[in-house]
């Protein structure tokens, strides 16, 4: 079981859209590095959902429910991939980018060191820390 972080602009497709759809297709990734990570996803993996743009924060956890499959929205569907995600839990207290940057434990996250990557692995240690933070008042 692996942990991931996926980024999205909530104006385009965000947490609320995922909740509304129940199971949503995470598509549109057009970056090779992100694509390569996505291809490693397995059903049962957990993906943190991060909103970029006006607010910059991890808003909740979703579960990967399919293996990666060709992205139907791509012109070359053999090149790009999608997975389906199911919203698991909205975080009571979203963890924002400023917090992550300010904490030495977390400041090595790819979210900080490679700010343009839209799909990235998250270590279990980081995941646990982030989850604990989201449960604090």
Q: How far is CA 64 from CA 84, 87, 100, 133, in A?
A: 6, 9, 24, 22
Piece of 25-33, 63-71, 87-95, 121-129 that binds DNA (CB under 7 A):
25-33
> Do residues 81 and 93 lie in contact, with contact meaning Cβ atoms separated by under 8 Å?
no
Q: Looking at 25, 63, 86, 101, which residue binds DNA (CB under 7 A)? A: 101
- Using rule CB under 7 A, residue 97 touches DNA: yes
Which phi and psi angles does 80 have, rounded to 5°? -110, 150
Per-residue CA distances from 48 to 16, 31, 75 (Å): 14, 19, 27
**Beta pairing partners, 86:** 23, 63
Site for DNA in 29-58 (CB under 7 A): 30-33, 52-53, 56
Q: Read off φ and ψ for residue 15, nearest 5 degrees.
A: -55, -45
Residue 115 in the binding site for DNA (CB under 7 A): yes
Least distance (Å) from DNA to the CB of residue 130?
15
**Rule CB under 7 A: is residue 118 a binding residue for DNA?**
yes
Contact with DNA (CB under 7 A) among 7, 84, 91, 133 = 7
Q: Does residue 9 bind DNA (CB under 7 A)?
A: yes
Question: Judged by CB under 7 A, does residue 114 bind DNA?
Answer: yes
Full DSSP string of 89-111: EEEEEEEEHHHHHH-TTTTTSHH
Q: Which residues make up the interface to DNA (CB under 7 A)? A: 7, 9, 30-33, 52-53, 56, 97-98, 101, 114-118
């Amino acid at each position: 079981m692996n942990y991931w972080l996926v980024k999205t602009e909530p104006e385009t497709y965000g947490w609320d859209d995922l909740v509304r759809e129940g199971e949503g297709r995470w598509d549109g990734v057009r970056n090779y590095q992100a694509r390569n990570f996505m291809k490693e996803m397995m059903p049962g993996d957990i993906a943190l959902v991060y909103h970029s743009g006006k607010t910059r924060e991890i808003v909740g956890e979703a579960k990967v429910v399919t293996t990666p499959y060709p992205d139907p929205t791509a012109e070359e569907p053999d090149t790009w991939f999608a997975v389906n995600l199911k919203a698991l839990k909205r975080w009571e207290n979203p963890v924002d980018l400023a917090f992550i940057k300010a904490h030495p434990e977390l400041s090595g996250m790819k979210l900080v060191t490679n700010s343009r990557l839209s799909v990235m692995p998250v270590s279990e240690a980081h995941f646990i820390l982030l989850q604990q933070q989201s449960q604090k008042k």
